[in-house]
Amino acid sequence: MNTTLLFSLPPSQLRVGLIEADGLQVGPSPAEYLREIAAEIKPLLEPGWVYPDHLQKGIRSLLKSFGFHPSGRNRPASEFLVKDLQARGSFHAINNVVDINNHLSLVSHLPISIIDLERTGDRLCLRLGGEHEEYVFNREGQVLALKHLLVIARAEGDHAAVGSPVKDSQATKITETTRRAFGVIYTAATITPEGELAALLQRFADLLKGRAGAATAVWKIVDGPR
């Protein structure tokens, strides 16, 4: 893994799964893969389906431990994806890399960031958002306030935040020109055992290679400061 991720955080139960892919060929997801996604997420559209309580409370508690309040518009991305899926009644396809990211977030109920490494650089850090820090997170120009939110940021240059467990920055999102990407799965040691996270990361790598043409996809698991 060529990307360096530094930690500048208080002690917590944070556990992250990191994945780096090179040689991506970003474009529409194959119809076969979209059918695979639809079949796997079908239970989430059933009237009686209930969001797993231990995952919802666990991720929210992790973010609260840093002083952030994950509710309403600030709910974790994994929760937002379920709400969006249920409102639409079907999976919202964007491009193959983002579809893989969202597919795995939906089935694991863990928030996942995916960012363009050529727009961020290879030296990143995990830190907390500053008092008045914010970034634009969509094409409409809507802004996410980052105070006390766990964020991925550049470790050099402008040190700008580029992603988070809530929403990623519009400036570093995956596009058709992306060739190198970096993903972060956010969880906690108390939520996701190492073996379970490893299996999810391996599936992520396999999908990036099989469905998005990645030449290489490598991963590792890192626990934050205790």
- What the block records as the tokens of 150 is 């766990």
- Three-state secondary structure of 147-194: ECCEEEEECCCCCCEEECCCCCCHHHCCCCCCCEEEEEEEEECCCCCH
C-alpha closest to that of 163 among 146, 178, 147: 146
The span from the CA of 215 to the CA of 212, in Å, is 9
C-alpha closest to that of 201 among 187, 190, 215: 187
pTM of the model: 0.96
77-88 helix and 96-108 helix, angle to the nearest 10 degrees: 100
pLDDT at 71 (0 to 100): 86
Output phi, psi for 119, to 5 deg.
Answer: -100, -15
pLDDT at 73 (0 to 100): 87
pLDDT at 6 (0 to 100): 97
Residues of the chain predicted below pLDDT 70: none
Going along the chain from its start, the domains and CATH numbers come out as: 4-223 (3.50.40.10)
